[in-house]
Structure 1
Amino acid sequence: MSHPLIRPARADEYDEIGRVWMESWVSTGLGETSDFLLANLRARIRREIEDGWSLFVADDNGTIAAMLALHLPKLYLDMLFVAPAYQGQSLGRQLLGFTRTQMPDEMSLRCIRENEKAWRWYEREGFVFEKEEVEPSNGFMMKYYRWRRQRPAG
């Protein structure tokens, strides 16, 4: 597999990013594809960018393979979604490595408790569970995690 290039997203890609986001979300088994969901995700991208998202894509020779949304002032990894065709190829790990270049000392994230594959992966990648809370906007139980760079003893 070639390694997709991680780069800032362009405004003309937001609709395609919304489609990748929806397809990845649906691949978790927690949602179903719909025009309504797609429209909501596409609108949310624009709203979140206005509210401080730094949005990146993994570009595989013109195909968007993944999306990564960071809120750098809050040290928050908000969204990491890999298109189904690219899952299982270490692209998530590549995106997480890129995220650590943007937030090298500490970051937090949350994921839906029922998405066990995701939170177990984050735990393997060094994130530490902090708490669970219901997200009022969607009713999902969310698991909150934090990662801190390990300082050498000395």
Structure 2
Amino acid sequence: MNSDAVVLRRAGSADAFPAADVWLRSFNAALPSVRCAHSDAEVRDWFLRVLVPRYETWVAVTGDRVVGVLVLNGVELKQLYLDPAWRGRGLGDRFMALAKQEQPDGLTLWTFQVNMPARRFYERHGFIEAERTDGRRNDEREPDVRYVWQPHT
């Protein structure tokens, strides 16, 4: 199935656990060397009690299955995770277009330094590296990098 058969829509409370499961599968597949700082149950609770009700959370759905999640907090792109089977099929590009549409004046995000596929993806979408840290401020204690996107004016 191609990404055109996938609907992007705002998440509701019923999407919290399926979105969290996408996050968990994606994190484990994309970041095998990074220690997940929270249990699966804690991640699911975080989606249910924090991300979905408090932030602008979007899901990618095909049929009745959630295959991607995007979370925005104003100009901060907090989360962008795809089911591993959906990587490289244009879904991330659709989410990025949506994020830029929602925040046309610019976006910022953090990703781990070791996540080279994500870094290439963000750079391909016009994000510029703005800062690197040693990871002391994130839960995983993993060196990270902040990216910024500003529209061309």
2:49 aligned with 1:62: no
Partner of 2:27, secondary structure, is: helix
Considering only aligned residues, what root-mean-square deviation do their CA atoms show, in Å?
2.1
Pick aligned residue for 1:16 from 14, 18, 38: 18
Taking the aligned partners of 1:86 and 1:103, their CA distance within structure 2 comes to 24
TM-score by length of 1: 0.87
Q: Which runs of 5+ in 2 are unaligned?
A: none
State the shift of 1:43 in Å. Answer: 1.5
| 1:33-48 equivalence runs, <5 A | 37-48=39-50
2:100 aligned with 1:100: yes
4+ aligned runs moved over 6 Å, structure 1? none
Q: Measured at CA, do residues 125 and 58 of structure 1 come closer, stay the same or move farther in structure 2, by a change above 3 Å?
A: same
Taking the aligned partners of 1:45 and 1:27, their CA distance within structure 2 comes to 19
Partner of 2:111, secondary structure, is: strand
| 1:62-101 equivalence runs, <5 A | 62-72=64-74, 75-101=75-101
Taking the aligned partners of 1:57 and 1:69, their CA distance within structure 2 comes to 9
Note if contact 1:8-1:54 (Cα within 8 Å) is conserved in structure 2.
yes
Q: Which runs of 5+ in 1 are unaligned?
A: none
Taking the aligned partners of 1:55 and 1:123, their CA distance within structure 2 comes to 23
Taking the aligned partners of 1:69 and 1:2, their CA distance within structure 2 comes to 19
> What is the identity percentage for the equivalent residue pairs of Structure 1 and Structure 2?
22
